[in-house]
Amino acid sequence: MRNQLKIRAAVRNAGAFLAVQEEFGSFDRYIWQFVGGSPKRNRPRAPGEVPARTAESDAMSKDLARRGFTFVGSTICYAFMQATGMVNDHLVTCFRYREIGTAKKSD
């Protein structure tokens, strides 16, 4: 990485991550609270219906920033939620929508 701010952010975020782990017992336990402990299943019918951010990602972003994380805007948090299975934003016509719709968060 050439961007010094991002390098410093990675170091700072690592420290904040460890603090969250210490407080909650695991980062997993902390992060899943933003969706009530189980995946949120949306029902988009068209790509334009998939949001870039939600009230949950706004709350996550604010709380992460309050805890010292940087580069954690709401849009980045929502992308994280999609990538980790906290939200299912597959179109209802997609075969993956049904496949992962029955998945549960693993402890």
Average pLDDT, stretch 60-71?
97
Residue 94, domain member (yes or no): yes
Task: Write down the pLDDT at residue 104.
Answer: 55
Task: Write down the pLDDT at residue 90.
Answer: 82
Residue 107, domain member (yes or no): no
Of 43, 28, 58, 27, the C-alpha closest to 90 is 43
Q: What is the pLDDT of residues 7-65, one digit of tens each?
A: 999 999 999 999 999 999 999 999 999 999 999 988 888 888 889 999 999 999 999 99
CA dist., res. 88 & res. 82, Å (int): 7
pTM, two decimals, is: 0.85
Q: Any bridge partners for residue 87, and if so which?
A: 40
Q: What is the DSSP string of 52-83?
A: S--HHHHHHHHHHHHTT--S--HHHHHHHHHH
Residue 44, domain member (yes or no): yes
Can you give the CATH number for the domain in which 28 is found? 1.10.340.30
Domain count, the chain: 1
Which residue segment(s) compose the domain that 18 sits in? Answer: 4-101
